[in-house]
Amino acid sequence: MISKPYHNGPASDHFDGKRFFNPGGSQPRGFGDLLKWKLGSNPAEWPDTVAVTPRMPAPRVADMTVTMIGHATLLIQTAGLNILTDPVWSDRASPVAFAGPKRTTAPGVDFNALPKIDIVLLSHNHYDHLDIDTLARLHQTHAPHIITPLGNDAIIHAAIPQAKITRGDWGQMAQHGPLNVHFEPCHHWSARGTRDRSMALWAAFVIDGPKGKILHIGDTGFDHGRPYRDLPARHGKLRAAILPIGAYEPRWFMRDQHQNPDEAAMGFALSGAAHGIGHHWGTFQLTNESRDAPLTALTAALEKHKIPSARFRPMAPADTWAIPEL
């Protein structure tokens, strides 16, 4: 059994002793708003399946390559290490196997074709990001070092007691070999059920290694640019930024938790990153927009903000990108 709350510690500027919150930001919407959305919405129809030809990644990469698995799951290969973000190989993003958002695309890399996984970065505990079944398979076959914000370790250890986990708060850092992984604030929330809202922390990550720095954000609202604007002063030049671009309609409900493609483009510019990757689209239908809407909206946003499309790619499952050097 998991003992809730998941984290016990002193209060801070984003923790009240029981629940985490976005300082100066917005709280997640309540059940009444959820019902209003679900009862009054007319979501776009998605295809049942979209064909994917899985990729066979290299065992190791000396420089920096990113391969899209699907949704927020990416394989980052840099400095001879292999990193997975928010790994989900399950068919549904749900607490149960028979209901909930179902995969539209197969994973861009077959699970059994993964190279040796050294690190898992787990941004928060929503089911489309923290998938216990996948983490258990990874532990059995790879025993990776899991790096995650406060409280998520309790959820994982309850199911996988032997998992190696480093937990951290915003502003802290974890190490693995030549990589330093910084926990950065973003604007989101967390829950696995109806009684544990915001009892585990959410975070972005800056991966700092010998081949450059990578920002990865699993989920965030734009929050007037606050997740981005201080990054250049704290971390200098980012070689790449991996940013969510999907699951954003209707805006009245989603604005505070999921940025849209225009906001992702603005965040990319504020971050100062040289290259951008758009994720969190096209795998699980979580919200009202059509499957391809984020692609059309991102094209318009990049043109609006005068960002060359070659610098910011919305990667689809099995796409891979050897990130250009700074």
Confidence (pLDDT) at 5: 80
Identify whether the C-beta of residue 321 lies closer than 8 Å to the C-beta of residue 55: no
CB 21, CB 15: distance < 8 Å: yes
Strand 312-314 to 275-279 pairing:
parallel
CATH 3.40.50.12160 holds for 50-322: no
Tens digits of pLDDT across the chain (326 residues): 566 789 999 999 999 999 999 999 998 898 898 889 988 888 999 999 999 999 999 999 999 999 999 999 999 999 999 999 999 999 999 998 888 999 999 999 999 999 999 999 999 999 999 999 999 999 999 999 999 999 999 999 999 999 999 999 999 999 999 999 999 999 999 999 989 999 999 999 999 999 999 999 999 999 999 999 999 999 999 999 999 999 999 999 999 999 999 999 999 999 999 999 999 999 999 999 999 999 999 999 999 999 999 999 999 999 999 999 99
The amino acid sitting at 14 is H
Q: Where are the domains of the chain?
A: 50-322
What is residue 3's predicted lDDT score, i.e. its pLDDT?
61
What counts of helices (H) and strands (E) characterise the chain? 7, 14
Is the CB of residue 265 less than 8 Å from the CB of residue 227? no
Residue 184 pLDDT: 98
pTM (2 decimals)?
0.96
The residues, ordered by sequence, that sit 6+ positions from 79 with a Cβ below 8 Å of its Cβ are 62, 64, 177, 178, 179, 209, 210, 211
